[in-house]
Amino acid sequence: MILAGNRDRNKIQSRIQTRDKTGIRPAVFMVALMMPVLLAGCRNNASIQTETESADGLISVAFSEVGAESDWRVANSESMRTTFTTENGYEFYFEDAKGKQENQITTLRSYILQGVDYIVLDPVIETGWDEVLEEAKNAGIPVIVVDRMIDVEDETLYAAWVGSDFQKEGETAVEWLESYLEEQGRSDEEIRILHVMGTLGATSQIGRTVGLENGTAAHESWEIIAQVQGEYTQAKTYEVVSEFLEETQDIDVIYCENDNSALGAIQALEEAGISCGTDGDVIIISFDATAVGLAACMEGSINLDVECNPLHGPLVEEIIEQLEAGGTPSKLSYVEETYFTPDMLTAEFIASRGY
């Protein structure tokens, strides 16, 4: 546990009194009162550095990120980093959980102990957050959830959520597939779909899966022949699709829940000598519309790339500004999204998008 070490106690008291005016963070007050006891127990006070030394006047924003599993994730992290800069008036803390909820919970507890002003959480899965978010609430630290959603008993445990309508993304893909097959004169043909799912329990996986399952149920000639777990990565998807192709190669569509998975599926198909995309035997549907996915789409390897906008930083900043002004932000804010097919793309357009 990193404690305030050589920080002037008077400064802590004044910060806490200042903050008390805003009526938040009693936990920091308790830590300060305990300081003499805590420091008495430390062998070398001077060696204990504080991680929470934030220059006066900066708003501390602490982000717990899922990981770095995909190009989308990297863009999401970058959006937060470039929004919450010192120049913009923030002290930014960042932790990558490497896809593990237990790491996120540990990180949230350290943020609470540090007495940050705001916590931003991208939850790896929807469940298991009630206890730690109760601790944040008791410490008077507002929590803003981004990207994936949390499933909690008490909705006051988070101030607001920013993200995508993932089921709508899935429905967009289904609507496109329906019209594409019609154009191809294949509306009544049996369509065999291999479904490559993202991280199980992530809101994005749940929504995109529901979109496909509902769409398949509405089309008698469509069949999901298997659901495999690509975990949003190229490596895992390449592994599971390669294994599946050893069982059967009678596939019409591979529905990949993100671009990195789509690239893994394409790699597996190519190695098996199976063509895909606009001129191939297998239709590839993807999500995210990151630069790597759009490049593959532009060249025709991916037939459809449904956008999932990762640029949450500015929307989160708007929410923090509202909270700082004593306002109540909307509980749910959805990012703008569309979809892309090869005919819509140029290298210049892809380069202009920033992710």
Footprint of ligand GZL (CB under 6 A): 69-70, 72-73, 147-148, 164, 202, 204, 232, 258, 287-288, 308
The CA–CA distances, whole Å, from 137 to 126, 133, 143 equal 18, 6, 8
**In Å, what is the CA distance from 98 to each residue of 67, 73, 123?**
4, 11, 12
Helix pair 26-40, 101-114: axis angle to 10 deg: 80
- 161 vs 287, beta carbon nearer ligand GZL: 287
Helix (H, G, I), strand (E, B) or coil at 287: strand
Q: Which is nearer to ligand GZL, 60 or 286 (CB)?
A: 286
Count other C-beta atoms under 10 Å from residue 178's C-beta.
Answer: 14
CB of 308 to ligand GZL, least distance (A): 5
The least CB distance from residue 233 to ligand GZL, in Å, is 8
CB of 21 to ligand GZL, least distance (A): 38
Q: Kindly state the smallest distance separating residue 353's Cβ from ligand GZL, in Å.
A: 15
Measured from the CB atom, the residue of 157 and 335 that comes closer to ligand GZL is 335
Given the complex with ligand GZL, which of 83 and 258 has the nearer CB atom?
258
Rg value, the chain, Cα? 24
Choose between 60 and 70: whose C-beta lies nearer to ligand GZL.
Answer: 70
d(CA 230, CA 238): 8
CA 212 – CA 269 distance, rounded (Å): 21
Residue 145 CB, nearest approach to ligand GZL (Å) = 12
Residue 171 CA to residue 173 CA, distance in Å, equals 5
Q: How far is the CB of 227 from ligand GZL (least distance, A)?
A: 17
Nearer to ligand GZL, 15 or 148 (CB): 148
Written as one string, the DSSP assignment of 154-211 is -GGG-SEEEE--HHHHHHHHHHHHHHHHHHTT-TTS-EEEEEEE-STT-HHHHHHHHH
Contact 54, 60 (CB under 8 A): yes
CB atoms within 10 A of CB 6: 12
Question: Smallest gap, in angstroms, from Cβ of residue 139 to ligand GZL?
Answer: 27
CB closer to ligand GZL out of 27 and 292: 292
Rounded to the nearest whole angstrom, what is the least distance from the CB of residue 203 to ligand GZL in the complex? 7
Closer CB to ligand GZL, residue 115 or residue 207? 207
For residue 304, give Cα distances in angstroms to 168, 180, 288. 15, 10, 11
